[in-house]
Structure 1
Amino acid sequence: MKKPYVFVTRTLPKKAIGQLQQLVELKMWPKEDVAVPRDILLEEARKCDALLTMLSDKIDSTIIDNAPNLKVVANLAVGFDNIDVEYATEKNIAVCNTPDVLTDTTADLTFGLLMATSRRLIEAADLVREGKWKSWSPLLLAGQDIHHKTIGIVGMGKIGETVAKRATGFEMDILYHNRSRNSEAENQLGAKYCSFDDLIETADFIVCLTPLTTETRNLFNAATFKKMKRSAIFINASRGPVVDEKALYNALVTGEIAGAGLDVFEVEPINADHPLLTLKNVVALPHIGSSSTETRITMMRLCCDNIEAVLTNNIPQTIVNKEWKQSGVN
Structure 2
Amino acid sequence: MVSPLERINEQIEETRQIKAEAEGEMKTLGFPDYLIDLQLSSLDQRMEDLGKKEEDIKQSFHKEEVIVTLHPESLPSGQVSVRELTLILGGLQDLTDSIANSMNNNKNERGKIPSRILDENTFILKETRAGSFKAVLEMSHSLQESFEKQPEQTRTIEELFTLLNSSDKENELTEIVTSLGSRTIKNYQNFSKAILDLNTSLDFDWISPKESYKKSSISKETARQVYNLLSKFSATEESIETVQGRLTGANIRTKSFEIISNLGERISGKINKDVLSKVAVLDLNQDYSATLMKQTVHYTNSKKVKVTWLLNDIKNKK
TM-score between both structures, scaled by the size of structure 2: 0.23
Asked which structure has the greater CA Rg, the reply is 2
Higher relative contact order (CA 8 A, sep 6+): 1
Relative to its length, the structure with more helix (as a share) is 2
